[in-house]
Structure 1
Amino acid sequence: MLLNFSKPKKYLLSVMKISVTLLLSGIFLLACSPSGDKPIERFQHAIEGSYAGNISNDGKWSVISSIHHGISVWDLEKNALTYQWAQKQDSSDNLVLAIDISNNNSHALTASRENFALWNMNTGQSEGYWQVRESNIRDIAVSNNGDYLLIGKGNGVVVHVAVDTGRRLEFLGHKEKINTVDMMPNGRVAMSGGNDFIAYVWDTVSGQVIYQFNHTSRVSQVALDSQGRFAFSADSMKSAHIWNLKTGKLITKLKGTKRHEVFSSVSFSPDGKTLVTGAASSKVSVWDVATGKRTANWRVTPKEANRPTGAVVYSLAFSDNNTLITESSSGYAELWRIPQAH
């Protein structure tokens, strides 16, 4: 068999309910006045930076993996630490480096290179733990209600898992390692990109390719609009595309992207007019979906240090069409007002 997961192991996970407080273990709220490219508000979620982070699609929840606090779940509307989860992290190769929250906020999926865990966001309890025995985990996605999991692996295989039945479908279209995956909220359509210069949109029931998007270098980021309007794919050089998910036709290419401007996060606005991207260079950019033009950009707060350092923008989400929340490796979540085009 090409698949080789262990059975779920719940005894390796622990969960703790956290009382609502803003002054816990050195974590506190910093408020900033809006000024130019400064955030409206800044929340410190990790005192010495984080390994990974994901914000829910509606901007209400954030899950981060950090040095001192394990996996932390934050209610962003209250800036309240709600849960702390413990997933086996016993070596530098086993740190939780990938996180995804389902579109309806019911579940979160967390993964290290070797294992992944499913969590119930309503109860705070674990619903399963699996270990990968072949290759390593590169990226993950979870559907609504935690029904389906998507695991992209270093051997070029993407695995779609139906949690209730245990059915596992392997997508074998890629020829080299997977860098990025995404999945529609119902779990029926997946997207993946790899080092073979290709992004695929594919059916998770049949494994059949729906669309193939070719790039000139390794595909570093893919994303599916949760409302089913768009797909996004970008490579490691300077090519980034917005596609019509219903037809597979190109809508636009992002204009003015820089060589090696590698995107680390992507989100579409609720009204479908705006795309925002985050980069490993701490840069956040706002793009017009129809024209592909960059309408604004700024940088998130870097990690505090004796000398200036950057920050990877792990995740970004719209709280409405004009307000954006970012979570970065510096340990800060930040609220931004998106400049309006004149």
Structure 2
Amino acid sequence: MRIIFNTLLVTIVISALNGCFFSTQDVQRWDIELQGTTSFALSRDARFALLYSKEHHLVLWDLTENQELASLGEQDPEANTVSRIRISDNGRFAVTATQMNFAVWDLAWTQAEGLWSISDGLIRDIDIASNGDQVLLGLSNGKAIYVNLVTGRRLEFLAHNEKVNSVALAPNGRFALSGGNDYKAYLWNTNTGQILHTFEHEQRVNRVALQRDGKYAFTSDGGNQAMIWDLASGEEISQLSSFSRQLIFSAARFSDDGQYLTTGTPSGRLMVWDALTGKQIERFDVEPLKDTRPPRAVVYDAAFDSQSRVVSATSAGIAQAWEVDY
């Protein structure tokens, strides 16, 4: 009997340490596009959502009022699939991208500001400044390109020598963070192209994020290196602590004050972390896409709302709000 009890106790402890106990119970959900989406973005406060599906194209939602605000339609005349969406830090503008072109939208007027094409590489990631005039692209040819759409100024950042997988642009458009297959992430000045900090990884960098006030940066690779950096000094603050062999993220966002980080994975896991210690605070499994085998959904975006909940947006076309025990 003692042997059985000890074995059971050890099993419980190991399971807890490996994070096998997690919640699947959301506190609110929005079933927006149950046929699935190819991209889905949230505003910083998780009030607005912009998503793309093949059936309904681009649709803007108000999650607080639980209603559709506008159908924006197709991005381009060829109805190419939108694979990337970002909403500006102030929630006023959005940028959407296929592999070959991108469009900027004024969400207040629910209309497009313009459509631009890229000819020298495929778009792998994109971001937009709060004024809606500045865009940052990460391309398959190793370039990170900053564009001022009003002045026409274009800066090609050429420090990466392989594909650029993830980019982040400061709300004021002055600083950029890019990560690529060359195992490096760079923080650089969009006025001069000067590298301010270089963050080294052991594998390909696949996700980067900036805290909105420019205090912190997040970079993660295809292994289990996921770090938070002090942008004033360039020094590491913490490394996300996990027993998983891989920590591959499809989404990452800091809370406004930078104290917390939320991440999402391609396998449907949503996590909340203490940014200063790297300790995992919460972990949830999102609703999978209907009739998929194995059942799962990609977490495209996540954000902290005004009620201190975390809201996830996934390929299942569903947004879910989760209570976090901080």
TM-score (norm 1): 0.86
- Residue of structure 2 in register with 1:52 after alignment: 39
- Structure 1: any 5+ residue segments left out of the alignment? 1-34
Q: How does 1:164-243 map to 2 (within 5 A)?
A: 164-243=150-229
Aligned 8 A contact 1:114 1:137 in 2:
yes
State which of 108, 123, 128 in structure 2 corresponds to 1:122.
108
Q: 1:257 to 1:193 in 2, by over 3 A?
A: farther
Counterpart in the other structure of 2:63: 76
- Residue in structure 1 matched with residue 76 of structure 2 by the alignment: 88
The answer on 1:62 being equivalent to 2:49 is: yes
Measure, in 1, the Cα distance between the counterparts of 2:315 and 2:243.
22
Of 279, 299, 302, which aligns to 2:285? Answer: 299
1:270 and 1:321 in contact (8 A); partners too = no
Map 1:242-261; keep pairs closer than 5 Å: 242-256=228-242, 258-261=244-247
Q: Is the 8 A contact 1:302 1:308 kept in 2?
A: no
Q: Tell me if structure 2 keeps the 8 A contact 1:89–1:95.
A: no
Query: The residue matched to 2:131 in structure 1 has which SS?
Result: helix
Within the alignment, does 1:279 sit opposite 2:265 as a pair?
Answer: yes
Deviations 1:223-249 (A, max 9, x none): 001121210000001100000122211
Q: Per the alignment, in what secondary structure is the counterpart of residue 305 of structure 2?
A: strand
CA distance in 1, matches of 2:292, 2:236: 45
Q: Aligned-pair distance for 1:54?
A: 0.9
Q: Deviations over 1:237-283 (max 9, x none)?
A: 11000001222111011111522321011111233221111000100
RMSD of aligned residue pairs (Cα, Å)? 1.5
Residues 76 and 115, structure 2, Cα contact 8 Å, conserved in 1: no
Distance in structure 1 (CA, Å) of the matches to 2:55 and 2:143: 33
Alpha-carbon separation, structure 2, partners of 1:175 and 1:321: 43
1:88-141 Cα offsets, whole Å, 9 max, x none, are 2747xx310001111111110000001100110110111110111111101000
Point out where structure 2 has 5 or more consecutive residues left out of the alignment. 1-21
1:338 maps to: 324
1:194-214 Cα distance to aligned partner (Å, 9 max, x none) = 000000000000000000001
Structure 2 CA distance for aligned equivalents of residues 89 and 253 of structure 1: 44
Residues in 2 aligned to 1:47 and 1:298: alpha-carbon distance in whole angstroms: 20
- CA 1:306–1:140: 2 relative to 1, 3 Å: closer
2:314 is aligned to: 328
What is the identity percentage for the equivalent residue pairs of Structure 1 and Structure 2?
39
In the TM superposition, what is the alpha-carbon distance from 1:37 to its structure 2 partner? 3.5
CA distance in 1, matches of 2:281, 2:51: 29
Q: Give the TM-score normalised by structure 2.
A: 0.90
- Residue aligned with 1:145, SS: coil
Question: How many residues are matched?
Answer: 304
Is the partner of 1:96 in helix, strand or coil?
Answer: coil
Runs ≥4 residues deviating over 3 A: none
2:237, 2:267 → 1: CA distance? 26
User: Matched residues in 2 for 1:309 and 1:277: separation?
Assistant: 20
Report if aligned partners of 1:255, 1:292 keep a CA contact under 8 Å in 2.
yes
- Give the stretch that moved more between structures: 304-313 or 147-156: 304-313
Question: What is the rounded CA distance, in whole Å, between the counterparts of 1:211 and 1:106 in structure 2?
Answer: 30
